Structure 1
């Protein structure tokens, strides 16, 4: 029996090559670097060998010797660089990272963490950058450099870390291609960004995913948020926001999830297409507003831990897709809402610690 040779697609070949290259770098590069201090010629040979790289992933390592500066300076063709979770401080790399980006004009994806310097302003030289993810792990407070607004091809910006302070620079409104903006404190200790949400955030009209969870944003949500016509997911939880969610939120027909628990907010308008509304622990007082129109697509409603009174609004029957209601720990009264049996998808009802 003669076996026919199998062919593979170019896309499969590329994926396999990237995987093998990543594996090679993680297994072979630390060994090569360990000999750099004694054999300069080997280091130069390594740099020469890697100068055509387009993908470099060194994440989750802890190199025991200094990474040669020339390794990064000569990577002019690099499009992807991942340095997350590696011991940069032991390599004296923290200071080097401030200067390398000017030599990487083709970089499209950059992921960094665990260095002990401020965010470098040289990031603004990366004019082709499309995704930037940074975890700040530093004893020094850092601010987002205004030069980041020069990276006008950015589509995803992810920043987190308890030492991040200051405010979102207005230059970020230049990032008109941005569809994902995440600024969070993922360490769950301390807070970041003690400022108001800038009014100009409404200029980022391509945003579909906005997550500012776990910061110290104060003041009011700007009316301009109603200009984010493509917004799909909004998370402003665990901040110091107060007042009312702007009625302009009703204009966001693509919006499916609003998560704003642990603030001081109320709501008066909703878009019909909204599926998830989390208003938990918001010092929300008075009666539950009649904001559930016919055709409402709400599936999950969490009003736990507020100061609500009165009865559950009958307009909730308009939400034919509703599955979960949590109104626990309020002062809601009235008879048991048997009328909810008309909701065909209804699964969970939490009424504990009320006045039924």
Structure 2
């Protein structure tokens, strides 16, 4: 509706009366408050862009009613709490950007249901626990950014099955164990950042490219 302006205040619940809305872009403003549960009435919504605001609170479970949603961008806000499992109902979604918030808890195994997902960005939050192996089911994934969280344990070998992966960042976590050999073999990788973890193993010599 209106991005990159100086809109302040909170999100009006009356927006939910626009039930035929297909795209809502309020990014790059100064909107505060929480995401109204009434937004779950946007059952025809294709795009929800709210990045770079001052929104707080948890993401309501009613977001799961937006089953036509293809793009969800909530990055660079102050959202907190755990992610609702209802996100797994967004099976048509292709881009989920939740980075630069204050989310906690574990990363949802329900992300594995998002078979059309090509972009998943959850970096710069406070996520804990292990990286779910279900992410390896996202065969269309090209960008997976998970850096600057508190993920622990080993990295699931299923990540190495994501043949289209071009960007993969897990740096600045507490991951450990052997780094999956299959990830080194991914042919489309352009950006791979795994520093500031406790991985073991060696870098395959055939993945080292010296500048000409």
TM-score by length of 1: 0.51
Aligned equivalent of 2:122, options 256, 279, 283: 279
Q: 2:164 aligns with which of 305, 313, 321?
A: 321
Which residue does the alignment assign to 2:46?
A: 208
Q: Could you tell me how far 1:344 is from its partner in structure 2?
A: 4.6
Distance of 1:267 and 1:320 partners within structure 2: 22
Structural mapping, 1:52-91, within 5 Å:
none
Distance 2:168 2:82 in 1: 21
Distance 1:161 1:294 in 2: 39
1:177 and 2:20 are equivalent in the alignment:
yes
> Which residue among 254, 277, 283 is the counterpart of 2:92?
254
Deviation at 1:302, TM superposition (A): 0.4
Highest RCO, 1 vs 2 (Cα 8 Å, sep ≥ 6): 2
Task: Determine which structure has more spread, i.e. the larger CA radius of gyration.
Answer: 1
Structure 1 equivalent of residue 155 of structure 2: 312
Structure with the larger strand share: 2
Q: Extract unaligned runs of 5+ from structure 1.
A: 1-156, 187-191
Q: What secondary structure, in the 3-state scheme, does the structure 1 residue paired with 2:40 have?
A: helix
Unmatched 5+ residue regions in structure 2?
200-212
Contact in 2 for aligned 1:292/1:318 (Cα 8 Å): no
TM-superposed deviation, 1:213:
0.7
Q: Name which of 246, 254, 267 aligns with 2:107.
A: 267
After superposition, the CA RMSD in angstroms is 1.9
Q: Which of 222, 227, 231 lines up with 2:60 in the alignment?
A: 222
How many residues were matched structurally? Answer: 194
User: Matched residue of 2:10: which SS?
Assistant: coil
Matched, 1:198 2:41: no
Matches within 5 A, 1:131-210: 157-162=1-6, 164-185=7-28, 192-210=30-48
SS in 2 for 1:166: strand
Divergent runs of 4+, >6 A: none
Q: Distance in 1 between matches of 2:16 and 2:160?
A: 41
Higher helix proportion (structure 1 or 2): 1
Partner Cα separation in structure 2 for residue 291 and residue 263 of structure 1 = 23
